[in-house]
Amino acid sequence: MTEEDARLALLQTELNAIQSAIRALDTVMFQIKGWCVTAALAIGGFAVVYRKPGLLIVGIGAVVGFFLVNCQFKMIQRTFITRNWALDSELKTIGIMQVLKGAGKIDIVGTAAPQWPEARTSFRRRIVNNLPAFWFEARLPDTFSVYLFILVCLTAEAIVIH
């Protein structure tokens, strides 16, 4: 086996792992949204049946919690998407044969594990470092639209109860 063959095998493994990670995170985020809808409907239903508008605050808290978890998973997925784009760009710019010969700026490691440089930093520093990426994910329509709709529904239920 030549070095190029070994690098090709690593590249194939890494690309497959990245695609698998992206799809798996899509599944997780779909489940998070499903649980959010289920929990919000259940809490809203109890609030209406028992005429307890205060219970809707619990529902709003649950929606906000699910939204935050969804944003966190979307941030993780974005690192895999960024790596996929970087590999794609490198292959298109330099050419697959040149990359397989070791040219280019990107190392082909064969794993889809993103590098987390802040893993050794304090919790506060990680929050500060990741806040811009979190805010970016939080304001994307495909991230917040379902949660906003559920919050509007819970608000409508609160109005109906009063």
As a whole number of angstroms, the distance between CA 80 and CA 16 comes to 11
134 pLDDT higher than 80: yes
pLDDT for 3: 83
pLDDT attached to residue 105: 86
User: In this predicted structure, what is the pLDDT of residue 40?
Assistant: 93
Q: Compute the mean pLDDT over every residue in the chain, rounded to the nearest whole number.
A: 89
From CA 22, how far away is CA 152, in angstroms rounded?
30
Helix (H, G, I), strand (E, B) or coil at 51: coil
Residue 64 or 106, more confident: 64
Looking at residue 126, its pLDDT comes to 85
pLDDT digits (tens, 9 = 90+) for 25-38: 999 999 999 999 99
* Token pair in block for residue 39: 């929990």
Per-residue confidence band for 157, with pLDDT thresholds at 50, 70 and 90: confident
Rounded Cα–Cα distance for residues 59 and 42 (Å): 9
| pLDDT tier at 110, thresholds 50, 70, 90 | confident
Residue in 114, 144, 141 with CA at minimum distance from that of residue 130: 114
Q: What is the pLDDT of residue 116?
A: 63
Domain locations along the chain: 3-161
For the ranges 2-6, 25-29, 96-100, 121-125, the maximum mean pLDDT occurs at 25-29
Percent of the chain whose pLDDT exceeds 70: 95
